[in-house]
């Protein structure tokens, strides 16, 4: 590891800490990254001086510092997700004639950040800023399908947590688990009449550098329209893969 530049090691330490649920010991960092413990201590001390990590002496652990938070906040202020996704949605909508969405999870809801709708198409409930139950939307289930099972259980602990809009869609944790397993294997999610009568959707997930689902790209068309669901799904998957690339992410193995 001696040939690895110091800057690369610093970035690896930051990424390692960001992926952990809480502060960790220097020994754990060294073991996780395959670095000499003495080198890790030197890196941590230099990073602490600049505010990127914080030492918790009573716990003998290290966590992210205020400077790391400030950089993360600046990233969000620049709206990179929406800026990177908008051209993809515009192209998708123009080429397929479908309404294209960018969605993220907000608790157990799908929150729609972007919407590109072709002219002369029926208005949809999925406007920018609208939240809908994630288990009913293709955009939401495309993300739920790639979350850890324990996280999905926490969002949907029982049948009482399953909102119903049209009489269709998952009704229980077991039903949701089965649907998510199928959709995870096929690489996209589908929804027909579960949100609005007469409309069908497909969606695929985009991923961050930890292979965690960060957003979904969805396409919605009137169910009566003669279109191949698998064809639309392929277009959504391709766009989501491009968004993953633009975000510097990677798909799950």
- Segment 76-87, tens digit of pLDDT: 555 688 889 999
In this prediction, residue 1 carries a pLDDT of: 44
Pull the structure tokens for residue 24.
Answer: 């960790």
Per-residue model confidence as pLDDT tens digits over 153-195: 888 888 877 776 666 667 788 899 999 999 999 999 988 766 6
Label residue 6 by pLDDT band (50, 70, 90): confident
Q: Give exposure, 37-65, as e/b (b: 16+ Cβ within 10 Å).
A: eebbeebbeebeeeebbbbeeeeebbebb
Spans of all domains in the chain? 6-74, 79-246
Secondary-structure class of domain 6-74 per CATH: mainly alpha
Per-residue model confidence as pLDDT tens digits over 29-54: 999 999 999 999 999 999 999 999 99
Q: How long is the chain?
A: 253
In this prediction, residue 34 carries a pLDDT of: 92
Residue 218: strand pairing partners: 101, 203
Label residue 147 by pLDDT band (50, 70, 90): very high
In this prediction, residue 121 carries a pLDDT of: 67
CA distances from 51 to 59, 74, 168, 182 (A): 19, 16, 51, 45
Residue listed under structure tokens 């938070």: 69
CB neighbours of residue 36 within 10 Å = 11
With a cut of 70, say whether residue 225 has pLDDT above it.
no
Task: Give 199 or 104, the one with higher predicted confidence.
Answer: 104
With a cut of 70, say whether residue 74 has pLDDT above it.
no
Is residue 136 exposed (0-12), middle (13-18) or buried (19+ Cβ within 10 Å)? buried
Pull the structure tokens for residue 72.
Answer: 């993360």
Task: Give 53 or 127, the one with higher predicted confidence.
Answer: 53
In this prediction, residue 158 carries a pLDDT of: 83
CATH 3.30.450.40 fits 79-246, yes or no: yes
Instruction: Give the predicted TM-score (pTM) of the model.
Output: 0.68
Q: What percent of the chain has pLDDT over 70?
A: 86
Task: Give 179 or 124, the one with higher predicted confidence.
Answer: 179
């Amino acid at each position: 590891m001696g040939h690895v530049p110091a800057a690369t090691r610093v970035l690896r330490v930051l990424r390692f800490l960001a992926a952990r649920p809480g502060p960790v010991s220097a020994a754990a960092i060294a073991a996780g990254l395959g670095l000499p413990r003495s080198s890790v201590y030197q890196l941590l001390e230099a990073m602490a001086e600049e505010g990127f990590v914080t030492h918790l002496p009573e716990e003998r652990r290290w966590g992210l510092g205020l400077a790391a938070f400030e950089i993360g906040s600046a990233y969000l202020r620049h709206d990179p997700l929406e800026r990177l996704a908008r051209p993809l949605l515009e192209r998708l909508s123009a080429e397929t004639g479908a309404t294209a969405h960018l969605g993220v999870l907000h608790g157990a809801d799908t929150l729609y950040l972007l919407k590109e709708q072709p002219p002369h198409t029926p208005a949809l409930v999925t406007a920018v800023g609208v939240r809908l139950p994630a288990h009913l939307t293709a955009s939401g289930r495309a993300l739920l399908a790639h979350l850890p099972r324990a996280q999905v259980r926490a969002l949907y602990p029982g049948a009482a947590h399953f909102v119903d809009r049209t009489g269709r869609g998952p009704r229980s944790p077991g039903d949701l688990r089965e649907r998510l397993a199928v959709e995870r294997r096929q690489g996209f999610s589908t929804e027909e009449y579960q949100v609005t009568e007469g409309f069908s959707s497909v969606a695929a997930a985009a991923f961050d550098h930890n292979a965690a689902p960060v957003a979904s790209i969805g396409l919605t068309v009137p169910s009566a329209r003669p279109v191949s669901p698998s064809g639309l799904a392929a277009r959504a998957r391709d766009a989501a893969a491009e968004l993953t690339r633009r975000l510097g992410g990677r798909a799950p193995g």
